[in-house]
Amino acid sequence: MNNFEHQSLPPPRSEIGLLGWLRKNLFSSLSNTILTVVAIGFLLWLLPPLFEWAILDSIWMADSRKECWAKMEVPEGAACWAFIKDRLGLFVYGFYPMDQRWRVDLSFILLICAIFCVLYEKLPGRKFGLMFAIAFPFITGWLLIGGLGLELIETDKFGGIMLTLIIGVTGISFSLPIGIILALGRRSNMPVLKSLCVMFIEFIRGVPLIALLFIASTMLNFFLPPGTQFDLLMRVLIMVTLFSAAYIAEVVRGGLQGIPTGQYEAADALGLTYFKAHWLIILPQALKISIPGIVNTFIGLYKDTTLVIIIGLLDPLGIGRASLSDAVWAGLAKEVYLFVAIFFFICCFAMSRYSLWLEKRLSTEN
Amino acid sequence: MPEKRKHKKKSTSKKRLPRKIEKSKTIIEISEMHKWFGSFHVLKDINLRISAGEKIVICGPSGSGKSTLIRCINRLEEHQRGQIFVDGMELTDDLKGIELVRSEVGMVFQQFNLFPHLTVLENCSLALVWVRNLPKSEAEDIALKYLERVKIPEQAQKYPGQLSGGQQQRVAIARSLCMNPKIMLFDEPTSALDPEMIKEVLDVMIELAETGMTMLVVTHEMGFATAVADRVIFMDDGQIIEQNNPKDFFEKPKHKRTKLFLSQILAH
């Protein structure tokens, strides 16, 4: 039967299935084929020995480096994770007293709950979750430092992953609101407010974080009344927060510039006040545009926490370096640095994935 | 006796339409108003008195200041000399006063300016909740009522980006109407629309005009002006050149510039 209308036909076999995909994506042209072969060759060369070194031949039970190497077929031929296992407590808790470590554990659990409450919107009873998240820093501060019935623990005992999380989480959660306020201030019509914000942002962005940390550890005393003891960790927290707030401010300002003036006018025309218009209309859109930049800054901040080693605080990297000087274990640098790298990678990769998920969820276009 | 009758009339009208305003009452008064953008004199000595319920169409070549004029009425633009009274209140720097005036004056923009991150229903109920302080459920009921009036209640849960231009502009009109404004300003509401969508928006505006709303419309839709307007104002070079009822305005324009403008837009 002859028909003018053409029926929809299934695509040719070369377009579908695994073979179709392979042809289209990996072997579509000569250069693509060469690239594919070279990449596969590289992975074959790299992965099996790495897998053997890190997993198959690795030693998990030993009391010293010598015992570790004695257990291997080839000395130094595989990873000695026994070292990390032996020092895991130090890596996680720093020098926090052994019998009080449950307080850190409890804080970790509370942190996970708080993060979940903030980041996952569909949670039933999220209002209470958010209230808990707001109370969380105070609860944790009390748990970790003590007082009011708990044994007091000096902050110079803090270290390791716990220290990284304290600095990272504090920096991230306080720098976002401060950064937003700075960005709005920089776009304000009031010249004094505007120049204050510009000066602050430009000063902080123009000085390396290490310099700021040195200022925190040495110079702040000049500005405080003599005899004041201002906790070193507290100073670091303030400096890291301000540092990242300046960057967030510029990222958010970029987002604000992406909002068409029509949005401001429509909000004004409805009679919304400055604060309501920004809270309801402008910021939700500006922050959505800024998500990649904000998360980028957060990841940077999180990794920059390793710089506190310079002023004598021991984060996982610092703990790792210190452990390497132990004569019983010396010489196992690869294991230590790989372990620290994996820890940071997991945290940062999680942030990156969350931001992608959030962008997708907030998209209102088809 | 006349006193009593007047009183009675007032009370009944109040019962039927809480917002009904006597026809002859002046609702907008602009006197000797000037505005500059930097050193550019964009509005020159504007004098305009608009009665409640009047429908005004403002036309003129681009750059003549017609959009700026209506944007001065809800103070999206600030005037530098002269006075503007809206519903008895003078527009000054006083922020509270401006916000009050804005909540009584609805505005529809050329580019719709819907809030893309909110659903259609949220777009409409937002100001009721945050400016009028109504509970959310009540605000949504009102919003749905006005979405029905512009004939798109079924789109309430969609986002603006999923609607056609004509639908978006109708949502924008509903969003303004939700606030139960006394005055509606339209800034070239059909200029950004594809031809086949202009009619659906104009129909909504004509229906709105029939309810007795005070409307100021900047537009080049001369058919709309003829059908609805009480008065057509022609502006050029920041001045009001000529104003008249639509019949006389189109048939017997007095001013040379008006004739030139009309010949240009009616030529095609």
Report ipTM (2 d.p.).
0.86
How confident is residue A14, by pLDDT bands cut at 50, 70 and 90?
Answer: low
Spell out which residues of chain A touch residue B162, defining contact as CB-CB under 8 Å.
Answer: 364-366
CB A38 within 8 A of CB A48: no
A256 vs B199: CA distance, rounded Å: 35
Give the whole-angstrom CA distance, residue B172 versus residue B169. Answer: 5
Query: Could you report the per-residue pLDDT of B99-158, keeping only the tens digit for each?
Result: 899 989 999 999 999 999 999 999 999 999 999 999 999 999 999 999 999 999 999 999
Q: What is the mean pLDDT of chain A?
A: 88
Residue of B75, B112, B117, B128 to mutate when probing chain A, most A C-beta within 10 A: B117
pLDDT band with cut points at 50, 70 and 90 for residue A365: low
The helix (H) or strand (E) run that includes residue A68 is: helix A65-71
For A269, which of B76, B100, B160 is closest by C-beta distance?
A: B76
Cross-chain CB nearest to B102 (options A270, A285, A365)? A270
Asked if A271 and B99 come within 8 Å (Cβ–Cβ), the reply is yes
Taking CA–CA distances from A272, the nearest residue in chain B reads B131
Tell me the C-alpha distance between A58 and A223, whole Å. 53
pLDDT for the residue numbered A311: 84
Q: Spell out the residues 6+ positions from residue A185 whose beta carbon is closer than 8 angstroms to its own.
A: A193, A194, A196, A197
pLDDT of B1 higher than 80 = no
B80 and B35 Cβ atoms separated by less than 8 Å: yes
What was the pLDDT predicted at B199? 92
A161-365: CATH, from 1.20.120.430, 1.10.10.10, 1.10.3720.10, 3.40.640.10: 1.10.3720.10
**Across the A/B interface, how many CB contacts are shorter than 8 Å?**
70
pLDDT in tens, A192-209: 999 999 999 999 999 999
**Burial class of residue B100 (count of CB atoms within 10 Å of its CB; 0-12, 13-18, 19+):** middle
Query: For residue A2, what pLDDT band results from cuts at 50, 70 and 90?
Result: low
Pairing of strands B231-236, B55-59: parallel
Q: What is the tens place of the pLDDT at every residue in B11-49?
A: 444 344 444 445 568 999 999 999 999 999 999 999 999
| Contacts with B, A 267-286, CB within 8 Å | 267-273, 276, 280-281, 284-285
Q: What does the pLDDT average to over A103-121?
A: 89
| DSSP conformation letters of A180-246 | HHHHHHHT-S-HHHHHHHHHHHHHHHHS-HHHHHHIIIIIHHHHSPTT----HHHHHHHHHHHHHHH
As given in the structure block, the two tokens for residue B124 are 């409409």
Residue B164 contacts A where some CB pair is shorter than 8 Å = no
Picking from A190, A270, A283, A290 by the largest number of B CB atoms within 10 A of its own CB, the best residue to mutate is A270
Interchain pair A262, B175: CB under 8 A: no
Tell me how far CA of residue A96 lies from CA of A190, A245, A317, in angstroms: 48, 30, 17
CB-based contact (8 Å) between A358 and chain B?
no
Instruction: Give the largest Cα separation in chain A, rounded.
Output: 100
Decide if A213 contacts A236 (C-beta within 8 A): yes
Residues sharing a CB contact under 8 Å with residue A306, sequence separation 6 or more, in sequence order? A164, A315, A316, A317, A318
Cβ neighbourhood burial of B224 (10 Å; 0-12, 13-18, 19+): buried
Partner-chain contact B131 A271, CB within 8 Å: yes
Name the H helices within B74-219. 95-104, 120-130, 136-149, 165-177, 195-210
Smallest Cα distance from B178 to chain A, Å: 10
Residue A332 CA to residue B262 CA, distance in Å, equals 88
**Closest chain A residue by Cα to residue B72:** A269
A262–B99: do the CB atoms touch at under 8 Å?
no
Q: For A84-134, what is the HEC assignment?
A: HHHHHHHHHHCCCCHHHHHHHHHHHHHHHHHHHHHHCCCCCCHHHHHHHHH
Residues B155/B173, Cβ–Cβ less than 8 Å: no
Q: Which residues contact A352 (CB under 8 A, 6 or more apart)?
A: A295, A299
Contacting residues for A271 by C-beta, under 8 A, at least 6 apart:
B99, B100, B102, B103, B127, B131, B179
Q: Is A263 on the interface with B (CB under 8 A)?
A: yes
Which tens digits make up the pLDDT trace of B167-209?
Answer: 999 999 999 999 999 999 999 999 999 988 999 999 999 999 9
Give B33→chain A minimum CA distance, Å. 21
Say if the Cβ atoms of A271 and B127 lie within 8 Å. Answer: yes
Q: Which of residues 108-147 of B touch A (CB under 8 A)?
A: 109, 111, 113-117, 126-127, 130-131
Rounded-to-integer distance, Cα B85 and Cα B104, Å: 13
In a 3-state reduction of DSSP, which class is residue A163?
A: helix
At residue A322 the predicted structure's pLDDT band, cuts being 50, 70 and 90, is confident
B74 to A280: CB separation less than 8 angstroms, yes or no: no
Cβ separation A288–B175 shorter than 8 A: no
Residue B225: predicted pLDDT: 92
Structure tokens at A343: 């820890």
Q: How confident is the model at residue A262 (pLDDT cuts 50, 70, 90)?
A: very high
A266 touches chain B (CB under 8 A): yes
Per the CB < 8 Å rule, is A271 touching B179?
A: yes
**Averaged pLDDT, B72-98:** 91
- pLDDT, tens digit (0-9, with 9 covering 90-100), for B244-268: 999 999 999 999 999 999 988 876 5
Cβ distance A263 to B113 less than 8 Å, yes or no, reads yes
Residues of A within 8 A of B115 (CB-CB) are 263, 266-267, 281, 285
What single-letter amino acid sits at B209?
A
Interchain CB contact of B93 with A (< 8 Å): no
Query: Which pLDDT score is estimated for A227?
Result: 67
Summarised one tens digit per residue, pLDDT across range A154-183 is 888 888 999 999 999 999 999 999 999 999
**Which position has the higher pLDDT, A181 or A7?**
A181
Residue numbers in A near B76 (CB within 8 A): 265, 268-269
Q: Name the minimum distance, in Å, from the CA of A302 to any CA of chain B.
A: 30
* Interface contact B117-A269, CB threshold 8 A: no
In this predicted structure, the answer to whether residue A28 has a pLDDT above a threshold of 90 is: no
A140 or A76: which carries more pLDDT confidence?
A: A140
Asked whether the beta carbons of residue B113 and residue A262 sit closer than 8 angstroms, the reply is yes
Contacts of A266 in chain B (CB under 8 A): 107, 109, 113-115
A63-111, pLDDT tens digit by residue? Answer: 888 888 888 877 777 888 888 888 888 899 988 888 888 999 999 999 9
The verdict on a CB contact (< 8 Å) between B113 and A288 is no
Task: Compute φ and ψ for A23, nearest 5 degrees.
Answer: -65, -40
Both tokens assigned to A137: 């820093």
The C-alpha of A273 sits at a distance from chain B's nearest C-alpha, in angstroms, of 7
Q: Do B109 and A268 touch (CB under 8 A)?
A: no
> What is the rounded distance in angstroms from the CA atom of residue B174 to the CA atom of residue B78?
26
For the residues B85-97, what does the mean pLDDT come to? 90
pLDDT of residue A133: 87
